[in-house]
Amino acid sequence: MAASSRTQVISLYRMMLMESKKFPSYNYRTYALRRVRDAFRANRTEKDPKTVERLMVEGRQTLALIQRQ
């Protein structure tokens, strides 16, 4: 479980960065990249599976939001 979750997190992270790069406007693009990186870094030591799950749901919603831009 833990291992698959780790790959899931990394894949979400990569997807979010990739999509963030598509913001045409400089300020929004740099903000999105910075915010995604900082959010993942801030929670990298998170152990509680419930919190990780909640963060993953939030992350997926944000990813969808970035894709809609």
Partner 1 sequence: MLSPCRTVTSLLLRPASRLPLRLGSDGRAASSLPKEMIKKYELEKDECRPLYMDFQATTPMDPRVLDAMLPFQVNYYGNPHSKTHAYGWESESAMETARKQVADLIGADPREIIFTSGATESNNMAIKGVARFYKTKKRHVITTQTEHKCVLDSCRVLESEGFSITYLPVMPNGLLDLELLEASIRPDTSLLSVMTINNEIGVEQPIKEIGQICRSKGVFFHTDAAQAVGKIPVNVTDSKIDLMSISGHKLYGPKGVGALYVRRRPRVRLEPLQNGGGQERGLRSGTVPTPLAVGLGAACSIAQYELEYDHRRVSMLANRLVQKIMSELPDVIMNGDAERRYPGCVNLSFAYVEGESLLMALKDVALSSGSACTSASLEPSYVLRAIGTDEDLAHSSIRFGIGRFTTEEEVDYTAEKCIHQVNRLREMSPLWEMVQEGIDLKSIKWTQH
Q: How many CA atoms lie within 13 A of 5 on its CB side?
A: 15
Task: Kindly state whether residue 30 participates in binding partner 1, applying the rule CB under 8 A.
Answer: yes
Under the binding rule (CB under 8 A), the answer on residue 38 touching partner 1 is: yes
Q: Does 44 bind partner 1 (CB under 8 A)?
A: no
- Looking at 5, 10, 31, 51, which residue binds partner 1 (CB under 8 A)? 31
Phi, psi for 46 (deg, rounded to 5): -65, 125
User: Which x/- pattern, by CB under 8 A, does the window 5-24 give for partner 1?
Assistant: ----------------xxxx
d(CA 6, CA 12): 10
